[in-house]
Amino acid sequence: MSLYYEDIEIGARFTTASHVITEADIADFCRLTRDHHPLHTDAAYARQAGFDGIIAHGLYGLALMEGLKTGLKLYEDSSIASLGWNAVRFVLPMVAGDEVHVEMAFTDQRESRSRPAGVVTEAVDLILADGSPAITAEHVSLIRKRG
């Protein structure tokens, strides 16, 4: 399925497959971003800070949100660009072993002023297995029109 601008229905909701965050995921993100803060690498340090173990980077969670959302294949043929993420909030920590999924809904749309496309806004939440949001955000994309 590939949605074009004309197919967007404000209020339509989608849920992604889930993903279990692993220590390897966190370590890989440390390596890729060069962020080796002890909250992400040292379980004893993280526990002293009040966490159950090493925590995933908030930006890892944000990137994972986009990856999980991409798995829905909503814009396979219609995506032009991500225009940005707004109102990002890291609500709860994510630790290795946490299972997460994304819940998203279309909240706004408008025609592009510069090309035959539209700007689409989504409410996007990364949800823990107990139903609590770990991250909440708004994502804005540029989506092709048909033809």
* Domain boundaries defined on the chain: 5-144
* CATH number for the segment(s) 5-144: 3.10.129.10
pLDDT value, residue 44? 96
Each residue's pLDDT tens digit, 1-16: 789 999 999 999 999 9
pLDDT < 70 regions, the chain: none
pLDDT value, residue 26? 98
| Cβ atoms of residues 121 and 137 within 8 Å | no
Burial class (CB in 10 A: 0-12, 13-18, 19+), 139: buried
pLDDT value, residue 45? 97
pLDDT value, residue 1? 73
pLDDT value, residue 147? 77
C-alpha to C-alpha distance for 66 and 127, rounded to whole angstroms: 13
Nearest-10 crossing angle of helices 58-70, 23-33: 110
pLDDT value, residue 66? 96
Which pTM does this prediction carry?
A: 0.94
